[in-house]
Every structure is written in C-alpha cells, then in structure tokens.
Amino acid sequence: MAEVLLFHHAHGLTSGVREFAAGLEKAGHTVHVPDLYEGRIFDSLEEGVGHAQEIGFGTVLERGRAAARDLPDDLVLVGFSLGVLPAQMLAQTRPGARGALLLSGCVPVSEFGTAWPEGVPAQVHGMAEDPYFAEEGDLDAARALVGATPGTELFLYPGSAHLFADPSLLSYDAGAAALLTERVLCFLAAAG
C-alpha cells in the first residue's frame, strides 16, 4: 500500500478533505493530511485564496515542505487546487516520490525550476469547464505535462465545478467524485 501526503485546497482542511483521506485509508493506504492554514477554514473560495495571499504562497510551500520533512521519501503526493502547489513542488524537487495526484490544479513544470522527474507517474484531474482550471492556465499546464512526460495522465470531467471532489462543499459532484476516487485508488494501488 502507498504512503500518501495530501494537501488541502484554499478553503482549508475541511471535513470533506478529511473524508477523502479517510476513504484512501479505508482502502489500506497511509495518509498524512497536514493543515497548511493552522486551523483556519473559510466558507468561500475567495476568502480562502485571500488568506493564502495574505500569508504568502511561499509560506504555503514552506509549510508543505515542512510537512514532508520527517516522512519517507517514497510518498505519493496529492493536492487539491491550492494544495497542488506543495504537492507538485515536492514531486519535482524531493527525490524518491512514487507519484503525484493533482486535483483541480496544475502549474507549469518550470515553476519549480526543474524538469518533471523521470519515472514519477502523475494524474491531473479537473472539470473541463471549471473557470479556475480551464481558463487560468492549469489545463494548459496539465496538457503540457502529459504531452512531455511518459506515465502522466489527464482526466477531464464534464461540468464547471472547481472543488468537485470535496463532499463538504456546494460544488461537490458525486458522480465525478466517485470516478475520480476510483482512478486515484487504482493509481495508489499501482504506486504502492
């Protein structure tokens, strides 16, 4: 089974993120879920993004790095939206990653000053009409990653919701979330 480091989205460490992690644990995986916001949870995405801007994206990345510090190298790194930043950064810069799951986000590989590491598989999941994912560069970054990197996959779901896999949010889409979870569990089984 895989050991997973899962980073939450801009709302914070919601009950839905914890529920997603519990589902992975129920399948036999070990899941670490650090709180990058130190207990803060925001009702709206805009408030959460505002908080991330206030503390600084560098702080978000450093808290992600600190969360991984005492964990084994052979992690699968998972990020929801904002959490993609530390997940992708660690997948690219911390040797030994078993894989990366980038949910509702992807940044250009060049953002972290290094190529995607050879032999590190990845999946990117997003909704095809999500304005944050499809119109702000994430989808383009995902397509570039998949086009240039063997072992990477892009999964697009019908709809426009951003955080569709978090059951505690109004944007939750049960059908798309179930398919995403099925694909994530297959990925983790192969990585473990």
Half-sphere exposure of 188 (CA within 13 A, CB side): 27
Please report the domains of the chain, with CATH numbers, ordered by start residue: 3-191 (3.40.50.1820)
pLDDT of residue 93: 97
Angle, CA 142 vertex, CA 140 and CA 114 arms, to 5°: 105
Q: Give residue 192's pLDDT.
A: 80
Neighbours of 22 (CB within 10 A): 13
pTM: 0.97
| Three-state helix/strand/coil letters over 113-179 | CCCCCCCCCEEEEEECCCHHHHCCCHHHHHHHHHHHCCCEEEEEECCCCCCCCCCCCCCCCHHHHHH
Arithmetic mean of pLDDT, 19-27: 98
Place of tokens 């644990």: 25
Locate 80 and state its tokens. Answer: 């929801």
Q: How many helices (H) and strands (E) does the chain have?
A: 7, 6
Residue pLDDT, tens place only, 118-134: 999 999 999 999 999 99
Q: Which residues of 161-184 are buried (b: 16+ CB within 10 A; e: fewer)?
A: bbbbbbbebebebeebbeebbeeb
Phi, psi of 48 (to 5 degrees): -65, -40
Q: Using CA atoms, how far apart are residues 151 and 2, in angstroms rounded to an integer?
A: 17
pLDDT in tens, 80-123: 999 999 999 999 999 999 999 999 999 999 999 999 999 999 99
